[in-house]
Amino acid sequence: MLDEKRFTHFNEQGRGRMVDVTEKNVTFRVARAQGKVRMQESTLREIKKGTIAKGDVLGVAQVAGVLGAKQTPQLIPMCHPLLLTGVDLNFSYQDEKTLVIEATVKNSGQTGVEMEALTAVSIAALTVYDMCKAIDRGMEILEIRLMEKKGGKSGHYFRGENQ
């Protein structure tokens, strides 16, 4: 028999299950995730100027990221359907070749929103790739990771500079 406190995603037979959060307290939760898309300098210049043939790359990626967060339980089998109270994406530039995507997701609920934030970043990055692939098929999607989470029993997690 498995130790349910340690392996909460497995049932008594050792098979995956959706964790039962029925008894957990409702708390405010927030998660922030980040990812990067590295590309040719000319591609990032075109994104900044808004001259990519398919349209406003960051505008479409923003909407795609929000939709991705909302669709997380349809994409990742053991994720709970959540009432998200906020989803926001921000874009910045690390250097002349690297777009940084950051998503912040919020809710008040019985389970966290880390997967929704990570999904938002992933879908936004894939959207950037899709919209720019005609001019730069060598783009790379990199370093998708959780940066911070607050709320719930496990408390506050913050990824430091050296992690």
Give all strands (DSSP E) within 23-82, no chain letters: 27-38
CB 65 within 8 A of CB 121: yes
Instruction: Verify whether residue 130 is a known catalytic residue.
Output: yes
Rounded Cα–Cα distance for residues 11 and 4 (Å): 8
Rounded Cα–Cα distance for residues 118 and 135 (Å): 26
Rounded Cα–Cα distance for residues 157 and 104 (Å): 14
Rounded Cα–Cα distance for residues 29 and 43 (Å): 36
Given the residues 3, 20, 56, 130, select the one marked as catalytic: 130
Helix (H, G, I), strand (E, B) or coil at 26: coil
**Residue of 46, 41, 37, 29 lying closest to 113 (CA atoms):** 29
Taking the CA of residue 44 as centre, how many other CA atoms within 13 Å lie in the half-sphere pointing to its CB? 19
- Give catalytic residue positions: 130
